[in-house]
Chain A
Amino acid sequence: MSNRRSRQSSNASRISDDQMIDLVSKLRQFLPEIHERRRSDKVSASKVLQETCNYIRKLHREVDNLSDRLSQLLDSVDEDGPEAAVIRSLLM
């Protein structure tokens, strides 16, 4: 990150093949569904970006749903009841 100043990417508006390969190999650990139609260095940048965006959106939705669920779980908990004790011990 420190030598970024010296690096002028000549075609900054497109992602280079190297970057795509790097991104794909890392994303494959999370997204085994990325479908490579041709050789790995020809994976469509557009497709990988789309998969990435879908994945992030999915994770955002999950955080939202889980926040919902947790708040409902806690709502049903009587403050002095045993469940509250469990939560307290969880949070300790």
Chain B
Amino acid sequence: MFYDEAMMNTYNMVKQRFIKKWINTLHMLDSSIEHPLNVTERKNAIRLSSDLAIAATRSGSTVWSRTLISRSGNKTTNLTTNKPMARRILKKARNRMKNRCSTLRRNGNFTAKVGVRKRTELLKSLVPGGELIDDKDYLIRETLDYIVYLRAQVDVMRTVAAVDLVTGNLTNDRTNK
């Protein structure tokens, strides 16, 4: 999958860290929401804990991870812990972006650039917090970072979903591209 062995090792580390965080966020959510859950509520809890966990795995200085944490904070109104902090984090990120980024300037040549601009806007909408980023270079870095972690999140979830609940082994049903 990866050309670079060092990158593969880093990737595996990311997945391991993610698993640990996910266990924490699952427990955190589990103790704070009302049981019993219906399937939809459970799905939302799983999704939420997973997103929180992958963001926490990254922690650090990426806009996408702080946006995810802030968003997740808004969804868990029962959890009093991180909501105001998440808002402060996102506010800090926004201010940092404003100070750092050059503003988008209009380019005279529109023909080929319309496609790029349109797709750039689309990309911004897909990367959490992307709409906060004006600088193209920064956006690309955030995107690449986000893709790595998003992919790790998918890989781990896929593996967990593939565990045969009776035997505890992995089924062969792991590749659902």
Q: Show the binding face of A for B, using Cβ within 8 Å.
A: 1, 4-5, 7-9, 11-16, 19, 22-23, 26-27, 29-30, 45-46, 49-50, 52-53, 55-57, 59-60, 62-75, 77, 82-83, 86-87, 89-92
Give the CA-CA distance A14 to B50 in the complex, in Å.
Answer: 34
CB–CB A71/B43 < 8 A: yes
CB–CB A19/B112 < 8 A: no
> What residues on B are CB-neighbors of A1 within 8 Å?
61, 138, 141
Interchain Cβ contacts under 8 Å between A and B, 28 examples: A4-B100, A7-B102, A11-B107, A12-B105, A12-B135, A13-B107, A15-B136, A29-B3, A29-B4, A30-B147, A49-B122, A53-B122, A53-B126, A56-B126, A56-B150, A59-B147, A63-B51, A67-B43, A67-B47, A69-B161, A73-B165, A75-B42, A77-B165, A82-B166, A83-B165, A83-B166, A89-B168, A91-B23
CB–CB B104/A49 < 8 A: no
Count of B interface residues, CB-CB < 8 Å:
63
> What residues on B are CB-neighbors of A74 within 8 Å?
42, 46
> What residues on B are CB-neighbors of A90 within 8 Å?
160, 163, 168
> What residues on B are CB-neighbors of A30 within 8 Å?
147, 151
CB–CB A13/B113 < 8 A: yes
CB–CB A86/B168 < 8 A: yes
CB–CB A52/B46 < 8 A: no
Q: Show the binding face of B for A, using Cβ within 8 Å.
A: 1-4, 7, 23, 26-27, 39-40, 42-47, 50-51, 61, 99-107, 112-113, 115-117, 119-120, 122-123, 126-127, 134-138, 140-141, 143-144, 146-147, 150-151, 153-154, 157-158, 160-161, 163, 165-166, 168, 176
CB–CB A13/B105 < 8 A: yes
> What residues on A are CB-neighbors of B112 within 8 Å?
46
Q: Which of B99, B158, B161, B163 contacts A86 (CB 8 A)?
A: B163
Known contacts A63-B157, A87-B165: A15-B116 contact under CB 8 Å: yes
Q: What is the CB-to-nearest-CB distance from B21 to chain A, in angstroms, rounded to a whole number?
A: 12
Known contacts A12-B103, A56-B126: A19-B115 contact under CB 8 Å: no
Give the CA-CA distance A44 to B47 in the complex, in Å.
Answer: 35
> What residues on A are CB-neighbors of B123 within 8 Å?
49, 52-53, 56
